[in-house]
Amino acid sequence: MSLFKRDRLPQGEMVRDKEPEHIVLIVDDEEGNLRVLRSMLAEKFRILEARDGREALELLEGMRPGQMPSVILSDQRMPRMTGVELFEKVRDLMPSAIRIIITGFVDVGAIVDAINRAGIYKFMVKPFDRHDLLLTVERAVEAFELRREVDRHIVELEQKVKERTRELEEKNLALQRAYAEIEQASLTDALTGLGNRRALTRSLAEHGQGLVERRQSEGRRVAFLLVDMDHFKAVNDTYGHAAGDAVLTGLAAILRQHCRDGDAAARWGGEEFLLRVAVDDESQALSCAQRLREKVASTPFAIGDGQHISRTCSIGIACLPFDTENPDRLDWERVLSVADAALYMAKRNGRNAAYGLACARPLPDDFEHRLAKAPEALVAEGYLRVFSDRA
């Protein structure tokens, strides 16, 4: 079927000023139609030709991305493959190409079906004039340019999103590291590098019961050793606070040496430190405390300018569970209160000593109140037993 009205065919070819940018592929099984389409479109576009759908597919599949046509103009009725069948395959092969069907048969149902199946840009019904064809192809090229620009913007936006996401991830990691550093700093004593009271309290609050149960399953207990430097104020008053800091740093180093796997040491406050160790019983806890006390007493503490001083410490001891017959009677916080009471006994009895308090018989209901007021009375009444390294 002829494509054009004879009085509207082009009369001769125009001289091309420059190589056209866009490629148009024309597909038709009639040589005359190909020749007429080529003569009309070659003035503004680079032309590729195929004589049926399969030849068009073979041509497209052999092309590199930069060679692909912007517009494909195909006849509908061709041997081996129709125009719509061709465009169904082209839609997957090169979805950005603008697809135009030329047909001599108008069937609205077929048009709708082809638009849905093959993404047809426009149907052109034979015959039509040259100007309509050129205008249609030019608008198709504009649509291709717009689609390509949109795709370019999408790629740029995706790249920006990736870059922004990467930046946000990097900042998030940096923020997490900063938070971790802040958290670590909040759990670390700045002077000694040991954990601080908050760190050990949190650990005991979160894992204390599990720790006790684990030690019990091993046939062991948890001992709390409260260590207090004797007459520490005199160090600050006599040698200055820098010297006092040096002594505390030295004591922290000794505590680290006495920590085994699973033990923990923390600066509890001021010149007071807490050591948590695994022991079999009060006797083993006392031996650990005695070794620690003797190490402190025998260590010369460097305080700067070549000076060294000797100090002693006092230690209070209590074991968890406190009452092995009733292990839930006192939690870790109340056992620490027992260790604190034992420490004050060591202080009142001349310092440079380790004192511990152990459960001697079932504790009274008002035990905590009486412990804070007069622990010696509980000892006198036989509720508590004192053990000490003091000869």
pLDDT digits (tens, 9 = 90+) for 23-71: 999 999 999 889 989 988 998 999 999 999 999 999 998 888 778 899 9
SS (H, E, C) the chain: CCCCCHHHCCCCCCCCCCCCCCEEEEECCCHHHHHHHHHHHCCCCEEEEECCHHHHHHHHHCCCHHHCCCEEEEECCCCCCCHHHHHHHHHHHCCCCEEEEEECCCCHHHHHHHHHHHCCCEEEECCCCHHHHHHHHHHHHHHHHHHHHHHHHHHHHHHHHHHHHHHHHHHHHHHHHHHHHHHHHHCECCCCCCEEHHHHHHHHHHHHHHHHHHHHHCCCEEEEEEEEECCHHHHHHHHCHHHHHHHHHHHHHHHHHCCCCCCEEEEEECCEEEEEEEECCHHHHHHHHHHHHHHHHHCEEEEECCEEEECCEEEEEEEECCCCCCCCCCCHHHHHHHHHHHHHHHHHCCCCCEEEEEECCCCCCCHHHHHHHCHHHHHHCCCEEEEECCC
Of all residues in the chain, what percent carry a pLDDT higher than 90?
Answer: 58
pLDDT band at 17 (very low <50, low <70, confident <90, very high): low
How many domains does the chain fold into? 2
Assess whether pLDDT exceeds 90 at residue 310: yes
Look up the CATH number of the domain holding residue 351: 3.30.70.270
Assess whether pLDDT exceeds 70 at residue 2: no
Q: Which residues are catalytic?
A: 271
If asked whether residues 245 and 295 sit together in one domain, one would say yes
Q: Answer yes or no: is 165 within a domain.
A: no
If asked whether residues 48 and 101 sit together in one domain, one would say yes
Could you give the CA distance from residue 35 to residue 49 in angstroms, rounded to a whole number? 9
If asked whether residues 219 and 324 sit together in one domain, one would say yes
If asked whether residues 250 and 121 sit together in one domain, one would say no
Q: Answer yes or no: is 105 within a domain.
A: yes
If asked whether residues 248 and 368 sit together in one domain, one would say yes
Assess whether pLDDT exceeds 90 at residue 312: yes
If asked whether residues 35 and 104 sit together in one domain, one would say yes
Q: What pLDDT does residue 15 have?
A: 46
Give the chain's mean pLDDT: 87
Is the entire prediction scored with pTM above 0.75? no
If asked whether residues 208 and 144 sit together in one domain, one would say no
**Residues 322-334 pLDDT 10s:** 998 999 899 999 9
Could you tell me the residue range of the domain that residue 43 belongs to? 6-155
If asked whether residues 256 and 119 sit together in one domain, one would say no
If asked whether residues 124 and 236 sit together in one domain, one would say no
Domain termination site, one of 137, 155, 173: 155
Q: What pLDDT does residue 208 have?
A: 64
Stretch among 74-83, 104-113, 122-131 having the lowest mean pLDDT: 104-113
Assess whether pLDDT exceeds 60 at residue 75: yes
If asked whether residues 102 and 210 sit together in one domain, one would say no
Look up the CATH number of the domain holding residue 19: 3.40.50.2300
